[in-house]
Homo-oligomer: A and B are copies of this chain.
C-alpha cells in the first residue's frame, strides 16, 4: 500500500491589524483580521521534512504588516487582499494558489455635540464586512460579504401549508417572529468592481428587503433578498446566503389563565433552523 498527499494547504490565520491614517482634519481607522493560505509544491515538506520551499507563516504575518504600511491611506479590504495575493504569487514560484480572507470590524465615529469626532470611535457590534481573494497564476476570484447581520421582524412572517408526517407537531402560523443572523457573500463579474459604496448598497438592500418582505418561509425571504441584489447590482453575478432561523417560541401562559397574543416569546439558540442557498445570474 502507498499513500498519496491528495491535498494540502498551510498559512497564518487571525493576523489582527489596526491601521490608522492620520490627516489634519481627522484620523481614519481600520480594524481587520487576515488569514493567508498557500497551496503548491509542498510535498517534500510533508514526506521528508524538507522545508526549503516553505515560507514561514511568521513571514506571512510580517508581510501583512509591511504591505499594510506601503499604502498610507485606508484601502478597501478587497484591494488589500489583491495586493497580498499578487505579492505572494509573484515572490513564491512554489505556490499554485494563494487565498486571502479578511474580516473587517465596523467602527463609527463618536458624535460629540452632534459632530463626528476627529479621532474617537465606537464599535457597532459584531457585524463584519468580509472579503476573500482566491488567486492562481491563471485566475483571480474576488468575493465580498457580510457576517453577523442580526435582524428580527415581529410580524409579516408565517409558515403554513408545509409537509406533515407522523413526527410533525409544529402548528401552522401566519404570524410569527422571524429572527436571523445573516451571512451573505457574493461574486463579481470583474475583480475591480468591489467597493465600499457597493458593499453599503448591498447591505442596505438586504435590510430593506428583509423588512418589507411578506414572508411565507425563510426560504422565500432568502430568495427574495438574493434575487433583488442580483437584479440591482450589475457587477454581482452570484450570491450565497446562510440564514439560521433563531426561533422565538411563544410562551404558553394558559396555565396562569392568560392569553399570549404574540407578545411574550422565549428566544432560543439551540436547536436552530439553517436555511442556505446560492443564486446566480443566468
A residues contacting B by CB (< 8 A) are: 1-22, 27, 29, 31, 35, 37, 42, 45-59, 61-63, 65-66, 68-69, 72, 91-92, 94, 107, 110-113, 117, 119-127, 149-156, 159-170, 177, 207-208, 210-212, 216-220, 222-223, 226-227, 230-231, 238, 244-245, 248, 251, 253, 255-256, 258, 260-282
A6 touches B151 (CB 8 A): no
A267 touches B16 (CB 8 A): yes
Number of copies: 4
Identify which of B18, B248, B276 contacts A267 (C-beta below 8 A): B18
C-alpha spacing A227/B282, complex, angstroms: 44
For A125, what are the chain B residues with a Cβ–Cβ distance below 8 Å? 123-127
A263 touches B22 (CB 8 A): yes
Q: A125-B123, A267-B18 are in contact. Are A152 and B69 (CB under 8 A)?
A: no
Q: List the 10 closest pairs (A to B, CB-CB), nearest first.
A: A125-B125, A49-B216, A120-B211, A123-B150, A46-B223, A8-B277, A58-B170, A49-B220, A57-B273, A62-B167
A264 touches B152 (CB 8 A): no
C-alpha spacing A23/B1, complex, angstroms: 40
A12 touches B151 (CB 8 A): no
Q: What's the minimum C-beta distance from A14 to chain B, rounded to whole angstroms? A: 4
C-alpha spacing A12/B223, complex, angstroms: 19
For A255, what are the chain B residues with a Cβ–Cβ distance below 8 Å? 62, 169
Identify which of B16, B59, B244 contacts A266 (C-beta below 8 A): B16
Residue of B nearest to A29 (CB): B154
C-alpha spacing A4/B240, complex, angstroms: 12
C-alpha spacing A208/B66, complex, angstroms: 34
For A21, what are the chain B residues with a Cβ–Cβ distance below 8 Å? 263
For A123, what are the chain B residues with a Cβ–Cβ distance below 8 Å? 125, 150-152
A207 touches B6 (CB 8 A): no
A120 touches B152 (CB 8 A): yes
Q: A7-B278, A12-B272, A66-B258 are in contact. Are A107 and B168 (CB under 8 A)?
A: no
Q: A56-B159, A124-B124, A126-B126 are in contact. Are A6 and B278 (CB under 8 A)?
A: yes
Identify which of B31, B210, B218 contacts A110 (C-beta below 8 A): B210
For A244, what are the chain B residues with a Cβ–Cβ distance below 8 Å? 13
A153 touches B121 (CB 8 A): yes
For A69, what are the chain B residues with a Cβ–Cβ distance below 8 Å? 253, 258, 260, 263-264
B61 touches A265 (CB 8 A): no
C-alpha spacing A248/B267, complex, angstroms: 18
Q: What's the minimum C-beta distance from A52 to chain B, rounded to whole angstroms? A: 6
